[in-house]
């Protein structure tokens, strides 16, 4: 498979140069050479997260750092904002960590009315709010800056899953005064799966240090202490760190703001394609996420009956491109295109052309 054919909403395609970087030599992870490598990685991640705070690196999926956020949050009740499969997962993690958890849910494809969130926070005392920045199952983007401000005003911290946000969608950790943000390696960072990253505010970490129920492997206080020595608390996946180092250099060369703009351009092209293809084929396609709340990294495209996503996904695969079916309750009625990572408008156009051809092939007579 050549680069530019894999448009799944994660894991995303990884450039050959990044994959080849993983063949670097083994190093003692308590030695000077590793500390130099890890220091460079931390500097690059700081630019991606837009923070001067340490960015923690975990050898895990992003789920690990979702759990870390819950375990290290102040004790008390959790409010989970749910608008898709992965925001529901955050609620499940909170419950699994023995937190009393309330869910404020909106329909799939919707985002949150801020007045409703404010009212819920005024009604019940919460220690933490969980929210997904870019909901991969629906392609919906949530205003996490505004949600954090509401949580803070109510005395809660805000735990943000930005798995398909970071490096593809604007996020300013310091300027927006965020509490906790996590992501995974295999989405807009365009790396192999297996690493997760998080930033936490100084106030969040001071509160975490006072808690006795943080666990061990995902103890952010320990992550913080080792990060300041340019080390990891546990044996790291060194080969993945070599890939991360190479990719961060490429991201810094492009510039994070230019990377955001490229993702926005790909999203806009996809949205135009939906409208144009509907006109050209007579098939009533739609973008699930509403205008003004659309992620720039993934688009969930709705299908009219009797079309089903499996037929689209299989047909596009026969043309040499990989896209995603709908997720969870949306599996049959949507398909998803992941336009993130190192993809370009030109590469995306070939995928979209294949999608249009398949829609012509499978549309009802």
For the chain, 365 residues long, give each residue's pLDDT as a single digit of tens: 678 899 999 999 999 999 999 999 999 999 999 999 999 999 999 999 999 999 999 999 999 999 999 999 999 999 999 999 999 999 999 999 999 999 999 999 999 999 999 999 999 999 999 999 999 999 999 999 999 999 999 999 999 999 999 999 999 999 999 999 999 999 999 999 999 999 999 999 999 999 888 999 999 999 999 999 999 999 999 999 999 999 999 999 999 999 999 999 999 999 999 999 999 999 999 999 999 999 999 999 999 999 999 999 999 999 999 999 999 999 999 999 999 999 999 999 999 999 999 999 999 87
Q: Which of 254, 280, 312 is the last residue of a domain?
A: 254
Q: Based on the domain organization, do 179 and 122 belong to the same domain?
A: yes
How many Å apart are CA 291 and CA 315, to the nearest integer?
A: 28
Q: Based on the domain organization, do 33 and 126 belong to the same domain?
A: yes
CA 20, 15, 347 angle in degrees (round to 5)?
A: 160
Q: Based on the domain organization, do 247 and 273 belong to the same domain?
A: no
Q: Which of 216, 238, 254 is the last residue of a domain?
A: 254
DSSP assignment, residue 179?
S
Is residue 87 in a domain?
A: yes
> What pLDDT, in 10s, does the model give residues 301-351?
999 999 999 999 999 999 999 999 999 999 999 999 999 999 999 999 999
Q: Based on the domain organization, do 207 and 148 belong to the same domain?
A: yes
Task: Give the pair of three-digit tokens for residue 119.
Answer: 């009212």
CATH code, 93: 3.40.640.10
Q: Based on the domain organization, do 263 and 287 belong to the same domain?
A: yes
How many Å apart are CA 146 and CA 67, to the nearest integer?
A: 23
Task: Give the pair of three-digit tokens for residue 314.
Answer: 């299989």
Q: Based on the domain organization, do 176 and 261 belong to the same domain?
A: no
Q: Based on the domain organization, do 32 and 47 belong to the same domain?
A: yes
pTM: 0.98
Is residue 288 in a domain?
A: yes
Q: Based on the domain organization, do 134 and 244 belong to the same domain?
A: yes
List, in sequence order, the alpha helices (H) in 172-304: 202-209, 220-227, 238-254, 256-281
Q: Based on the domain organization, do 117 and 148 belong to the same domain?
A: yes
Q: Is the distance from CB of 248 to CB of 41 less than 8 angstroms?
A: yes
**Domain count of the chain?**
2
CATH code, 353: 3.90.1150.10
Is residue 239 in a domain?
A: yes
Residue with tokens 């979702």: 66
Q: Which of 198, 232, 254 is the last residue of a domain?
A: 254
Is residue 66 in a domain?
A: yes
How many Å apart are CA 303 and CA 335, to the nearest integer?
A: 8
Is residue 42 in a domain?
A: yes
Q: Based on the domain organization, do 315 and 332 belong to the same domain?
A: yes
Q: Based on the domain organization, do 80 and 215 belong to the same domain?
A: yes
Residue 24's contacts (CB-CB under 8 Å, 6 or more residues apart) are: 238, 239, 242
Is residue 150 in a domain?
A: yes
Is residue 7 in a domain?
A: no
Quote the domain boundaries for residue 312.
256-362
How many Å apart are CA 345 and CA 266, to the nearest integer?
A: 6
Q: Based on the domain organization, do 221 and 277 belong to the same domain?
A: no
């Amino acid at each position: 498979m050549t680069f530019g054919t894999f448009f799944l909403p994660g894991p995303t395609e990884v450039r050959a140069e990044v994959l080849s970087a993983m063949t670097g030599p083994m190093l003692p992870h308590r030695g000077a050479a590793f500390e130099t490598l890890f220091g460079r990685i931390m500097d690059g991640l700081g630019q991606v997260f837009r923070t001067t705070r340490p960015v923690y690196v975990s050898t895990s999926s992003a789920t690990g750092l979702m759990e870390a956020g819950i375990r290290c949050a102040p004790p008390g009740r959790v409010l989970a904002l749910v608008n898709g499969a992965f925001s529901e997962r955050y609620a499940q993690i909170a419950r699994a960590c023995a937190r009393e958890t309330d869910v404020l849910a909106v329909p799939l494809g919707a985002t949150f009315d801020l007045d409703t969130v404010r009212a819920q926070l005024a009604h019940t005392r919460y220690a933490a709010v969980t929210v997904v920045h870019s909901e991969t199952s629906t392609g919906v983007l949530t205003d996490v800056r505004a949600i954090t401000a509401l949580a803070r005003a109510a005395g809660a911290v805000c735990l943000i899953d930005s798995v398909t946000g970071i490096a593809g969608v604007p996020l300013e950790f310091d300027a927006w005064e965020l509490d906790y943000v996590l992501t995974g390696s295999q989405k807009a960072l365009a790396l192999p799966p297996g690493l997760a990253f998080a930033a936490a505010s100084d106030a969040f970490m001071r509160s975490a240090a006072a808690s006795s129920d943080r666990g061990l492997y995902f103890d952010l206080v320990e992550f913080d202490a080792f990060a300041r020595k340019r080390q990891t608390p546990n044996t790291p996946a060194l080969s993945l760190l070599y890939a991360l180092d190479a990719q961060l250099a490429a991201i810094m060369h492009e510039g994070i703001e230019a990377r955001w703009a490229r993702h926005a351009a790909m999203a806009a092209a996809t949205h135009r394609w939906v409208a144009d293809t509907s006109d050209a084929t007579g098939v009533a396609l739609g973008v699930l996420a509403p205008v003004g709340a659309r992620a720039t990294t993934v688009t969930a495209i709705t299908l009219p009956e009797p079309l089903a996503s499996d037929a689209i996904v299989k047909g596009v695969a026969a043309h040499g491109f990989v896209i995603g079916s709908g997720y969870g309750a949306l599996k049959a009625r949507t398909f998803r295109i992941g336009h993130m990572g190192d993809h370009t408008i030109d590469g995306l156009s070939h995928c979209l052309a294949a999608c249009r051809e398949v829609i012509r092939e499978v549309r009802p007579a």
